[in-house]
Amino acid sequence: MSAETRTNLLLVDDRRENLIALEAILEPLGQNLVKAESGFEALRHLLTMDFAIILLDVQMPELDGFETAKLIKQRERTRGIPIIFLTAISKEPQNVFEGYSAGAVDYIFKPFDPEILRSKVSVFIDLHRKTEELQRASETLRERELAEFRRNLAESMPQIVWTTRPDGKPEYFNRRWTDYTGVPAEVAVAGTGESTLHPDDRARTAERWRQSVESGEEYEIEHRFRRASDDSFRWHLSRGLPMRDESGTIVGWVGTATDIDDQKRATEAQRFLVQASSVLGSSLDYRSTLKQVAQLAVPDIADWCGVDMLEEDGSTKQLAVAHSDPQKVAFARELSDRYPPDSAAPQGAAKVVQTGEAEIVPVITDEMIEAGARDELHLELIRELGLRSYMCVPMIARGRILGAVSFVAAESGRTYGQADLELAEELARRAAIAVDNAELYRRADERAQAAQVLATVGDGVCLIDGAGVVRLWNPAAEAITGLAASEITGRRAEAILPGWTELAPQVPVSSDPGTASTRAATVPLQIGERELWLSVSGVGFEGGTVYAFRDLTEERALESMRQEFVATVSHELRTPLAAIYGSALTIRRTDIELGDDMRDQLLGVIAEESDRLAQIVNDLLLASHLDSGRLHVSTERCDGRALAEQVVDAARTYAAEGVELELDAPDDLPQVEADPGQLQQVLTNIVDNAIKYSPDGGAITVQIAPNDRFLRFAVVDHGLGIPVSEQTRIFEKFYRLDPDMTRGIGGTGLGLYICRELVRRVDGRLWVESQEGKGSTFNVEIPLAAGAAQLTPAARAPDATAA
């Protein structure tokens, strides 16, 4: 019997001779006899060894047999070991009882019969053996059952389950593995088949597995397995744990691979949508945002992503094409340059844009590629792209198709399904909204700018709708006509614009804004008292007509004034010229004898008329200098009375008969601050006018009187007078009451304009008081020279005046 199969027997006695005796008795049983000389020693053996039976002496010092037995029975592991008490002394019944109650199977008195003892012990050895055998048998059974259970479990699991040897070599793959990958377990175990992992994930996976096998740490990785049913690569989460024996040594690995493709894609899709939305919302430049979105889609959502926009002419134009590899993009561009997309193709972005219907081709077959290829080279090039799955969705906002987004799977090996199509549609919807918003913003911006232009433009703009109602009346229109938009808009044009019904047909209305301004009509518009001359042009559109107009009233008045001026000046120049020419011709005549008197008279005419010519030319020059601000004014203290006196004296020499000139001025007048030459010119002009416009003669008085700041010259005539409505206008350049000179009184219409400008330049005033037919009084006020005020009578103290 080998040492391993021998059973342990524990012999406990404090006397060595007894132990030896027991040993001798039990020796023939051929078992392993373990001796202990005390209860403590016995307990120590029991800690490390398993025994079939314990022979225990009752009487022992320190820890007797009963106490030892109690301790043995207390321990779980030793409780079941049968104990036979041996005693020479304790034969009393209560001792025996105590022995049994301490858990003894027998109580034997010394001296004992060796034969009996041996046979009793061998019964227990037998029992022990049988129990052990039974135990082993049931353990094996349990293990086998467990293994069976485990295998069944692994086989029926919906996940891939595998085990490997401690060195990482595959050992087992469950049914799911074969079902999923199409690779038989034995092929996978032998490692003879082609890898089912995505080529891009192989190196990473191998490295991760090597780390785990070397370190014994848990194995976890996400990678793609090819699914046999549709030949697509799908994401899996693989996990592996080391199996260890009792000593902790790794005896193998068990692992699972779970298909997480749907979750992973859902997460990716969500992340992509969030990113795409934030890009779409980041700018109003939808072209650049759509390009970014296409770029975002690769490679997580697609290997290729393209965006096509619907152009105004109904064609589609590729806005973006993205792939994670720029070289591939260049290749695709070349391909589409060489073989431009066919807008009539039964499938593709152009078709989607036409129909507004999404397209999906989960698996692009070789037949499809063949059918779509134009020639052999095209076929070869498309095959090179390795297209596998495709979908294209329309971008629609507010019912309008704006374009299409296409997604193509190639090297990633994915195939598109319903969930992907929904994601694509959601993206296209968001992109369409962004494009639409950008468009709306642009239009709103344009409208705002247009409104601003309308508000600031100098031309009057008026929109009259198809029903003849004014819809728009801009600020310039208000300013030109003096009619507020609030009174005009919403009302019929003919009701608020007098004469509109007659005017409207005269205004050319074009349908092309470019030609409108070149064909403007100048029409009069009577608004209250005022007659406005407007240059109006119109552009018709489906909502009505837009009229643009410009105020030509002033230009027109100026124009007519200019025409009058030309007529006047030519007349004014012609008269003296004719006199000079006539006189000169007469002097040169040889056929008649001219007396000296006659010659002098003629020369006098020439001199006089030359003066008049010079005067006209001077006036013209002076007016032009005043206009351009080039006239020099140098003021000084001067005596207004003396100047007026000279003017009156000179006028008397050429005044017609019947005109009586008079100066009515006190002697002690204060001095004025003026340019004496210019002041004299002003007074001369006014006095000359008084004479000129008193054709029937009459008294003309120049009155001079001071007030606290000015010296006032009043030239009073009793001539033609000036109607009230013209009293301001006569000071305008070239303005004459009687431009046609029906009364035969000539003039350029510049005199009063010059006078008023000269007076203004010394801070004085010039105005007229007149009654038509009764005469006029022209008043000139010139500021007093500094310190001169004290001299004026009005400024003196009333007492002093009285004195």
Neighbours of 793 (CB within 10 A): 13
Binding ligand ADP (rule: CB under 6 A), the pick from 39, 640, 676, 747 is 747
Dihedrals φ, ψ of 553, to 5°? -55, -50
* Beta bridge partner(s), residue 224: 235
626 binds ligand ADP (CB under 6 A): no
One DSSP character per residue, 196-254 reads -B-HHHHHHHHHHHHHHHHH---EEEEEEEEETTTTEEEEEEEEEEEEE-TT--EEEEE
Q: Are 175 and 162 in contact (CB under 8 A)?
A: no
Please, which of residues 690-709 interact with ligand ADP by CB under 6 A?
690, 693
Residue nearer to ligand ADP on the CB measure, 289 or 689 = 689
Please, which of residues 195-224 interact with ligand ADP by CB under 6 A?
none
Q: At 669, which helix (H) or strand (E)?
A: none
757 binds ligand ADP (CB under 6 A): no
CB of 658 to ligand ADP, least distance (A): 16
**Cα 611 from Cα 576, distance rounded (Å):** 9
**Cα 344 from Cα 733, distance rounded (Å):** 75
Binding ligand ADP (rule: CB under 6 A), the pick from 23, 132, 696, 738 is 738
Residue nearer to ligand ADP on the CB measure, 372 or 764 = 764
CB of 718 to ligand ADP, least distance (A): 10
Query: Which residues make Cβ contacts (< 8 Å) with residue 185, sequence separation at least 6?
Result: 172, 173, 174, 175, 177, 178
For residue 743, the one-letter residue type is R
CB of 704 to ligand ADP, least distance (A): 18
Please, which of residues 484-543 interact with ligand ADP by CB under 6 A?
none
Binding ligand ADP (rule: CB under 6 A), the pick from 706, 749, 764, 783 is 749
Q: Which two tokens stand for residue 759?
A: 């007076």
**Cα 20 from Cα 131, distance rounded (Å):** 29
CB of 783 to ligand ADP, least distance (A): 23
Residue nearest ligand ADP, Cβ-based: 747
Sheet with strand 53-57: strands edge to edge: 32-36, 8-12, 53-57, 83-87, 104-109
Please, which of residues 762-791 interact with ligand ADP by CB under 6 A?
776
Binding ligand ADP (rule: CB under 6 A), the pick from 87, 671, 678, 689 is 689
Stretch that binds ligand ADP, among 147-155, 234-242, 484-492, 735-743 (CB under 6 A): 735-743
Count Cα neighbours of 643 within 13 Å in the Cβ-side half-sphere.
25
Residue nearer to ligand ADP on the CB measure, 583 or 776 = 776
751 binds ligand ADP (CB under 6 A): yes
Stretch that binds ligand ADP, among 169-177, 290-298, 504-512, 689-697 (CB under 6 A): 689-697
CB of 748 to ligand ADP, least distance (A): 5
Residue nearer to ligand ADP on the CB measure, 516 or 631 = 631
**Cα 556 from Cα 795, distance rounded (Å):** 49
Binding ligand ADP (rule: CB under 6 A), the pick from 752, 766, 780, 782 is 752
CB of 562 to ligand ADP, least distance (A): 15
Residue nearer to ligand ADP on the CB measure, 118 or 729 = 729
413 binds ligand ADP (CB under 6 A): no
One DSSP character per residue, 532-544 reads EEEEEEEEEETTE
Neighbours of 499 (CB within 10 A): 13
Residue listed under structure tokens 């992503």: 305
Helix, strand counts (H, E) of the chain: 26, 28
Q: Are 99 and 66 in contact (CB under 8 A)?
A: yes
Stretch that binds ligand ADP, among 261-269, 404-412, 630-638, 732-740 (CB under 6 A): 732-740
CB of 722 to ligand ADP, least distance (A): 5
719 binds ligand ADP (CB under 6 A): yes
163 binds ligand ADP (CB under 6 A): no
Stretch that binds ligand ADP, among 10-18, 221-229, 296-304, 750-758 (CB under 6 A): 750-758
Residues in contact with ligand ADP by CB under 6 A are: 689-690, 693, 717, 719-722, 730, 736-738, 747-753, 776
